[in-house]
Every structure is written in structure tokens, then in C-alpha cells.
Structure 1
Amino acid sequence: MNSIVVSESLSQEEGALYDRLSASVQGMPKQEAILKVKEFLVTFPSFALAHNDLGVLYHQSGNPTLALAHYEKAARLQPDNTLLRKNLADFYAVELGWIEDAVDIYLEVVKRNPRDIEALIALGQLGTAMAGSGRLDTSSAHFQVEMTTPAFSLPPETPQKSEEELYQDAQKSISQGDLAAAREQLELLAARYPGNALYQNDLGVIRYKSGDCQAAQRHYEDAHRLQPDNSIFARNLADLYFAELNMIDEAIHIYLELLHNQPRDVETLINIGHICSSVGRPDEAKSFYRRALEIEPWNTDARQALAGLQQTVQQQPLTQPVKSVDELITEARALMPQGEYLAARNLLEQAIAQNPYNAVAHNDLGVVAYSMGDVGAAQVAYEQAVKLDPANNNFRKNLADLYFVAVGRPDDAIYIYLHLFRQNPRDIEILSALGQICQAVGRPDEARSFYRRALEVEPWNCEVREMLQR
């Protein structure tokens, strides 16, 4: 089986420790090496490459049961890693005689990379075995090499390469159009450094170029999870959501976060404009294009997109004017004090249909739904309002109150109110709400503390004073 490649330039703690471990067990008796790797896995149980190499050691020590367990564990931890998948397939075929299981794995490999010569050769040999005796000829070159590679070392003729050298090789392969080689090099890096967001992002790029959007999504999401502040990784994921997966809400959410952090980012403004245009919101699209042109008046992409929208509007026949989102919200608010909740809800749903990203409409819909006794709909609406406008304290208060009063989630309510308290330590409403929640969940000392703080701000507040005296 293929074993690890020792790296000397390290960027993550797990990779650094495993590199030193790999060097220390060179030439060590197998049982001692097994103990060392097992000790490493106690601290880093999800390090896929260590499981792979422990499988190698167990296999060479004559313990196929434990070898199988660790090969399968490695493949589960990194299901997109071709190297680990091939090792498992080879073990299935050579040691266990599970030809069909090995074929299934190699078919997955070839599906992702139809030009993987090694996988194609293995499939040919496996197919011959299935058509003949049902046993694999382990004397063939592919399986002979795979099964005799010693653990924790490269074949003697292959020089060890540092992390930087491996990454340079991957970049060179990409520039030469050899995506299969680049993917294998990056998968090796990703296996050794699972916390490196750059390798996950680059694997996403390669998967996307190869037409495997689902694998690209996994890698882009991993990159964004590992490094959420990286605008390039976030933009790659948002572009994939919008352009290929039709995940419009997820894409717009990422772009709005990018815009919040970089309000003058022209590319983000244009992309949001494109999304708005595609979902039938031309006025908002034009607004984003105009903002982009205010920053870069020479930007031809924004100018052409804006001109195209204006030309489309001019060509459309005149129709009866439709009420704007603001008009619908205003009308709904006028109906709510009169108890006309059903009519108000209908107007707010129309507003959200026109603009699903209007946080005010979602918040007001939550108010109406709760007034009608529809707690589930109210929770969905309040959570969406907070998601769209997390800086709005009123939206967060509404959600916290709902969690506490109607949903039975006091811990979530306290979490929201404590966050609000840190931002507004003299807000009477927040202090009072925290006191009431703490009192309700059996934490009277904390409740009294919040009531006293409220009275320090407003000594005349009779309601708070009464709650403190209870």
C-alpha cells in the first residue's frame, strides 16, 4: 500500500507532529511503531493519514482485521482523497478477495478522473479476475508495488519533498493542464495538513474544472469553514452556490457578509447585482450596479449590466403599478393594531415574495405569526430577520423573547441577551429581560444583579423595583 510522504516544512500542528513521528520510527520494529502511531491518534483521532499508515503497519505485522479497520477509517475521514481510497481498494482485492468492493471504489475514482491511468489498470486487472477465477493475480506490477511499499518511507529512488515543493508541483501541474496530477498532489497535502484552507480551496477549483460540482462544494465549504474571513474562499463558494447549484439564498447570504466587511468591494457589488437581476429584482440590481460605478466609474461589467437592465425595462409594456415592499409593510403595520392579522400576514408575505432579503418584512411577519398563535412560523421569521440583519437589536430581542416565552429555549435567549448586554450595558429593557429569564430558570442571585444594574440606570423604574423585591 502507499504510505506517507515525509514533509520537512510544516504549517499545522498535526502535520508537524506527525512529520517528527515519521522520522523517529524509521527502522523501528513494527510493534513499537504501531504503539507510537496509536499514541498519536489518541491526541489526533481524525488524522486520516495516520490511520492509513497504521493500516500499513498492521497489514505488514499479519493482522488484517485491524489493518482493515484503519484503512476504512482513513477513507471515511477523507472520502475525497484518492490515495486513501486506492489503498483501501487494493487491500479489499489483494488481502480479502473482495473484488466487487474494490471495483466499486475504483469506479468512483475513475468517475472523478477518467484519465487516472493507475485506476484504469487496476480496474482492468480486477475485471479479468471477476471474469476468470475470481481471484486477483497479485504478481502484476500494480499490486506488487502497492502491497510491498514499506511504511513511513518512500521508495528509495523517490526524493523526499517539502510542503512548499509539493505545493509548487501542484501549481505547476495546474499551469500545464494536468489536473489529475495536481489533484493527487493537493490531496496528499490535504491529508497531511487537514487544517490548511488553501489546499481545500485549490482542490475545489480543480474539482470544479473537472466538472465535479459536488466534490467542489465540499472542498469550498471546508476552506470557508477553516478560514471564514478569507474573501476569496467565501467568494468561490458563493459563486458555486449561485452559478452551478442554484442555492440562491446561501449565495446571497455569503455575499452580504462580504459586503458588510468590505462595503466598497466592486466585485461583490456586481455579483449581488447579478443575483438580484436573475431572481427578478431589477431595481435592487440597478442599485448595486450604480454603487459599483460610483467606486469604479470605468468598470465596463457594471456599466453593461446596468445598461442591459435599463434597456429591458424600456422594452417592457406598461402595466398596472405594483406596490413596493415598503408600501406593503406600511399597510400591514396599519392593520396589526386593528387585529387584522390575516390581512397583515398576506401583505407581508407579498413583500417577502418581492424581496426575500428584507429583514424588516421577516421580523414583522414574526410578530404577526406569533399574534396568530403560529409559533413555528414566528420562529422561522424572526431567525431569518436576525440572519439578514444581525446588527439590529430589536430583531434579536424579538427572537430571544420568543425562545424564552414560547419555544422553551432559555439558554439561547440568555445567550442573545448577554451579547446585547455587552454592546448596550445600560439598556433597561435588556437588563430587565435578563433578570426575568434568570429568575425563571432558578438563578435568583444573577436575576437580582441585573435588576440592581437596571435601577442604577433608572432609579425611578417601579416595575424593576417590584421585580427585585419579589
Structure 2
Amino acid sequence: MAIKRKPKSPHFSHEQNSSQFNNNMNSPKVNAPSLKRDSPILSSRIPLPNFTKWTYCGITVVLCILCYWNSLNGDFVHDDIMALKDNQDIRPSTPVGEIFLNDFWGKRMADNTSHKSYRPLCVLTFRLNYYFGELNPIGYHAVNVALHTMTSVLFLHVCHRCVFLDIKPSVIAAFLFATHPVHTEAVSGIVGRADVLACFLFLLSFLTFLRSIEKPDPDKDYLTTKSPLCLMLSVFLGACNMFIKEHGITVLGVCIIYDVMVLSRKGIFRFLQTGSLDMSCSPMMKRIFTILTVLVLLMVFRIWMLNGQLPAFSDQDNPASFAPHLSTRFMTYCYLLVFNGWLLLAPTILCYDWQMGSIPLVESVADLRNLATISFIAVMAMISIYCLLCFYQDKKNQLRVILTALLFLVIPFLPASNLFIRVGFVVAERILYIPSLGICILVSHGINNICRSSTKRLVPMICTVMALVIVALFTWRTIIRNPVWNTRESLFKSGVHTLPHNAKAHYNYANYLKDIGRTEEAVKHYRRTLELYPRHASANNNLGTLLKDSDNDTEILFRRAIEINPMHVRAYFNLANYVNKFGGRQEEAISLLIRAIEIDNQYADAYSSLAGILLDSGRYEEAEKLYQNVIKLTPTDPNAYNNYGAYFVRIDQQEKATEQYLKCLDLDPKHNVAMVNIARLFRKMGKTKEAEDMYIRSLAVKREAETLKSLGALYFNTDRHNKAVETFQEALVLEPDSPEINTNYAQVLARLHRFDESITILHNVVERNPSYALAHRHLASVFALMKNYSEAIKHIDNYLEMDSGIDTKTKAEILYEQGSNYREINKHQDAIKCYKAAVEANPEFATAQMNLGAMYHMQDEIDLARQHYEAALKLEPNNAIILENMKKLENREAKLKSMKRKT
């Protein structure tokens, strides 16, 4: 049986396809163009086995996970606090519509203090995170790592299908991107999600745009739009990208330039030669018109959302943009381009913040950094010229790779370059996430060209090893960089270590130290901040809050903060509280707080402090209105109800005070201050059991010496002395040097007749705190119990001499005790003198009136005795002792009259 054979097909080069061959069958023969060495691997036209594709994708995924697995345990740090923990927009209780009215940080876009960063779609992803895991950081970090992994795999696909048309350089570019250390801020820092997600949509929009256009045809000058739906999807993704991160919209500009320079290169080249466009360019013009229309509409919307205001930045944020000389601004901006480029090429020095002195201004032409700028400009010019040469010489493959790299590198970075608008940073590593696509393509292309241009077999192997070494170094650098973003301490400490001349790094670290109570270290770093940058308003303000109350610099620091920044609302607030507390200048404090409220009418703390001052001034109605306003401003803030409850305590409306304290505890069942306040109120109301339960509840939340002291006092006053001893002993473990706790503890020991211990403790208190007058009073009480009345008299005299600020009622009680001591040692005239002074200090002191009457009674001064007995009886009509003494006085008077008649 004969075997049928296929007719031989004509041979043709890989640059041709079947349709080309068929179309040219009857054409005259011409010499076939020779293949050029600059083209990518010819196998790009040959489908890559799926196994190989998935293998490289899998390796990319493994690299991403390997690089960022140690970022999953990170906490909320730096900008995460404001964007997530303090942002109500991510919580389900906030209507979704609010996200589209507020900025990235949760402030109204119309607010003067808004950062004007409008990224609602990114905030929506945070809201989804909160829905599934609330504020558990691991979920947020996991999403960031997943997005980075997806972006890296998508970049591999884009490089293979649209850039290199070859898997090997595509893999190198993807590996470099997946492991690049400059990405740690964007991936490990949760708010960097905006940049990662924007990059993913950037690539997706670009890929969709290319798929909307027909495959290249050598017979056509312009390519038609194969799928208008893909084109609209690409534009839609680009528009969405602007609502994730502002510079994401630049992908639409990238698409336009790529269309003109690559896809429509032949037509544009012919236009440059002839100066005329024919009808065949209509598809390209329609695409450009569509994209430009959407771009204009989006820009109009974005400007409208600014409400006529650009974000307010200061010279602290971006010193170069505030430099007085144009030459300084120009040279510094140019150098910053070099610096960002170097971070992409050699990310050896990385920092979370590059503000305030991190990169000194380039103020002189003689500055050596200008050489780096000139070199950078020269390199970029050469790459651009080479790109143009490729355009004119029809080096399609080289043009596609170089142009794509330049577009990805330059266009997304332009909004952050200060060339068009002032930005709020000097260098921001997460801004480099999208531009790093371009640098990865350029590096991979360079390695690929070296391999192809060499005839020696060893060179490709060396290049491969070199590429793998770079990827390994990037991986190692990323892994050791990630833990820096795990905690606030590690992040801020790294900033101080990396850039010790960065005032902002010292300021942030000082803030952290202040928050955890390491005051001395915080003061040190605030002072270092002011050494590096004396005009840092917030550092002046925060340092003032940490200095001792007696420090004269405190007020100066607050006033300096206001002088530097007249809109610094916290400085007004702190200065007001300081002058009120330590200067007694209530009117000045009131005016300062009013100014703070004028600056920020939502500043609840200012309303609360102003209410407290007005309350102390007796202006109760005004104070109550302010407390009510605080509750309106912050209806979910438990502190607002606690302070309102304290107001009702002051005006002796105990039931209303209880109601407010309970509202506070409803909002925050672990609010220690409210628990202690309501416990004290219960004691005042005579509800001893309720007070005890509330103190115990408070201690279950937090063991505080002050609460233990109050509970110990309750046990003492209810004759549970052993429990009081145990409670005071625990309090002393927490605060062993507290004079008040030691004094109260000594008082309980004296009640248990442990006099020697009590006196020893009180003597120690007096030695350590010579000005603590209350210890002398309790020493007098102990000596009185021991019937050592002379020592008791001496210590009461010391107490009265030391404490000039005693209120009249307390003074009357002390004078009464002194009178009793004199009476016990039969110094009756001194006793009368003390009782008389007690009565003058507090005429309603019934016991003092009675004892004074008794002293006169003993001296047979009947009229004076009767006068004070009657005064005492008016105060306590049912006092049996007074009634008995009055009967004795009547008997004594009758007896004296009888004796007088007999004589």
C-alpha cells in the first residue's frame, strides 16, 4: 500500500507568518531581510510549554513569600495608626458613603486640615480586612503580601507577552521586582497597600489596553482597535487606579505614548516624513481621544475634590520646595531624581522617613553632588536618544523594551517629582514601587543584551550567575529589612540609627518613648530634634509636656511652638492648662482655649478643659453647656461622660453624676478612672458595699496604688483593719516611697496598737519628705493614743506651721485635737484657747462648742459655758452628752447661787 506524502511546504523565516506568505505568492521575489542580533530570542514566536510558565510563576510566588513571610507578625506602625486604628471609615458602623467624602486618613476632604489624599477604593480594602478580622494586623499584612505576589506574577506575564517576548529576561525582571528591598515599605507597611494595589491595576490596565488592539501587521501603518470593550476596561481600570493612589492614573499616559511610539510607529514615522495624516490613523486618534477625555474628566473631578485648596505642607515636610532661591530648588530637585534612581539601583540605605535634614539642600554649584546629577542626566539622555534611534531605525524589539522601561520608570514618578505640584515628602520609598518596574526591565535587558552580544559560551553563564547573585542579595536585604516594620520601636529606632542627622527620626522616636513612659530618653531625643531643627513646633510642644511642673522652660516651649506655628492647636491647649494650674491666670487660660477652639472647632479636649476652668470659677451654666457640647462632638468617647459626671459631683447632684459614670462604663467597661470616681461617689453617698465592689472591679482591670489606697481607707473607716493593712502593703509594693500611702498605713498600724512600727514609718516619711505636713498630724494622733500628749502637741504645732493652705473645717479639727491634748495635761487655759480658735474657725463644729463650754463649766464660768452649750445644742439637738452637761451646768449654777446666799 502506497504511503501518501504531504507536499513540501515552502521555507520561510520565523519573522513571516502564513498570511504573509499567502499574500505574497504572486509577488516578485525580493531579498528577505536578515535577522538582527538585537531582536529577542526567536523562540518568542514559539509557544512556551505551560509547565515552564507555571514553574517560573511558582518560583516567583515562592520568592515573594520567602521575602515577606517575616512581615506577617508586624503591628500597626507609623501611618498605619492614623489610617487604620484611628480611622472610623474602615469600621462597619460608618456608612460606606462616608469613605467617598473623606480623605485617606478619615478627614473630610473639605476640611482645612485634610491631607487631600483621596483613595476611597484602597480604604474599602481596609474595611474588608476589618470586617473579617477587625484590627488583627496579620490579616492586613497577609493581604499586602498576597497583592505583592500577584503583582510580581502579573509583571512576569506582562514582560513575557508584551515587553521581551522571551521568558528568560522576563523571569530576571520579575525576580528582581519580587525581591527588591525598596518595596519593604510598601509591602511591610500596611498603608503601602495603596502603592501595591495601584501597581497591580497599572499593569492590568496596560495589558488590557494592548489586548484591545489587533496584532502587529507589517502592511499597516496604524493598528485598529480589535476590542473596544477591552479598551474601555483598560480606561476604567486606569480611572479606578486614581482612587487607589493618585499617581496610578499615569498608566493612561503610558498607554497613549506606547500607542504612538510603538504600536503606531510606522504611521507616526510616515507623518514625520510627509507631515500629513491619512484616514488610517483614525483608530489611533479615537483611542487617544477616548483616553484624554477620561483623563481630563478625572483631573477635573480631582481638582473639584480639593475644594479649591491644595494640601498644606511645611518646610519640615519638603525643605527644598521652601528654599528661597530658584537655583537651590532646581539643583536639589535634580539631585533628588538621582537619589531616587540610586535607591532603585543600589538599595543599601533605606529609611522610613527622609525629611528634615536627611538630604541637605544643594545650595552651591560647587557641590560635588551636582556631578552625580550631571552623570544621571547624561545616562538618561543617552537612553532616550538610543530609544529615538530605535524608533527611526525600525529596531522594534529594542524600542519596545527600552520605551516600556522608560515609561514605567519616569511617568509614574512625575507626580512625586515636585515638577508640577509640591509634595509632602523629600523621598518616599513606597512611591518607587511602580517606577521599580522600569528599572527591573532595564537591568534585565542589559543582562540579556550582554548574553546575546557575546560569542563566548561562558558569558551567558556568568550573566546568569550575576543575575541570581543580585536576586539573592535583594532577598537577603529584604528579609533583614522587614523586621524594622514590625513595631513602632524598631521602626523609629532604625530611623535614628540610619539617619542620625534626621530631626524627624528623633522626633518620632521621642514620641514613642513618651507613649511608653520612658520620659528621660524622650526628653533627650526631643532636645536632639531641636538641636537639628530648632523651629520644630511639635517638638517644642511635646518637650514642654514632659518637663517638670516647676521647670521655667515649659511655658517658654509652649509659647515658642505657637510662635513657630500660630495654628498649633495643642500648644494653645497645653499653654492654657499650664498657666491655669501653675500661674493661676484663669482669664488668660480661657482666652487661649477659646483660640484653640477657633482653630479647630472639633477639638473636644479644649472644650473639656475650658469647661473645667469655668466650673472652678463658679460659672456652672457655661461649663455645663461645654460638657454637653463635648458629648455631641464625641458621643462614643467614654471620657466625655466621665468628665460630665465629675461636673455633677462638683455641683452635688449625685444621682446625675452616677448616671454619667454608668454611661461611661457602658461604653468602656474597663474605664479605670470612671470606676474609681463612681466608687468615691458611692462612699460619699454612704453606699459602702457598692463602693467596695467598684474598687475591686477597678483593681481587676489594673492594680494601681492609688486605687488600693482608696480601698484601704474604706477598710480602715469600716473597722476592717487587717484588710486595710493587707491593702496598704500591696499599694506600698507598687509605690514604696509614697508619703501618703505610708502615712495611711502607719495610721492603721496605730489603730492596731502597733505604735512602734507606726512611729518608725512616720519618722521615715518626715525624713524623706520634710515638707509633708500630714505626717506630723498623724504622728500627733499616734502619740495621743500612746498618751504622750507633749509629743502630740509638738507635732500639731509643726503641722499648723507647715501647712498654711488648710481649709477652715480641717483647721478647726486640728485645733480641737490640740485643745484635747492640752486638756489631758491639765493646761486648761491653753485648751480653752485652742477650743476657742476651733470655734472661731468653724462655728458649726458642735463638738468644739461643747468642749469649750465644758472647759468654762469646769472653771465655773456659767454664762460662757451656757452660751457654748446652747450653740452646740442648736447644731445637735439630740446630743445626749450636751443635754446631760446642761443639766449639770444648771445644778452647778444652783449650787453656786446657794453657796453665795449662805455667804
TM-score by length of 2: 0.17
TM-score by length of 1: 0.32
